[in-house]
Amino acid sequence: MGLVARALEETGISTLVLTAAHSITKAANPPRATYVDMPLGYTAGKPHDQEFQKQLLRSALTLGTSIESPGTIVDTGIKWSEDPSWKDKASSGLNNGVVSAEGDTRSERVDVPQYQSEEDRQAAEN
């Protein structure tokens, strides 16, 4: 997403990246980014916790739009939990970070549409 942000900014659009992957965003170096201490897959909050999600967005927008130096990542202070133990197994791409005997637990990258449900497939094809 950092590359997209850089490209959009080059076309004249101000951008703000919301990220839970600090290292990846730092490497791509977008103009403005706000960090949330959330697991991957939960960048914009906890499911069905509307107030948490909204506060996350308010914080990110307020802090992100106050950035004055290109390439800054601001920490929102928003976190998944006071207990950081979820990070012990967190990984990017390899589901839940378990390598060991299970090997690569990612889903196979197939080149046909991957619908959420069969009903979705029918809705798209009809």
Partner 1 sequence: MQVVFTIYLRTCDDRDMNSSIEPVDYIARTREQYSALGYQPYEWAERPDPPAWVPLTKPLEESRILLLGSGGAYKRGQVAFHWKDDTGIRLIPSDQPATDVRVTHFAYDLEPARSDPNIVFPLDRLNELVQEGFIKSLTPQSLAFMGGIYSVRRTEEELIPALIKEIEAMEIEIDLALLVPV
Site for partner 1 in 42-61 (CB under 8 A): 42-48, 50, 53-54, 57-58, 60-61
81 lies in the binding site for partner 1 (CB under 8 A): no
Site string for partner 1, 19-38 (x = CB under 8 A): xxxxxxxxxxxxx---x-x-
Residue 92 to residue 15: CA distance in whole angstroms: 24
Total chain residues near partner 1 (CB under 8 A) = 88
- Minimum CB separation of residue 12 from partner 1 in Å reads 6
Return all residues near 59 (Cβ < 8 A) that are at least 6 apart.
34, 76, 77, 78
Residue 11 to residue 21: CA distance in whole angstroms: 25
- Minimum CB separation of residue 103 from partner 1 in Å reads 6
Q: How far is CA 91 from CA 39, 80, 102, 106, in A?
A: 9, 15, 14, 11
102 lies in the binding site for partner 1 (CB under 8 A): no
Q: Which of 77, 81, 85, 118 binds partner 1 (CB under 8 A)?
A: 85
CA Rg value for the chain: 17
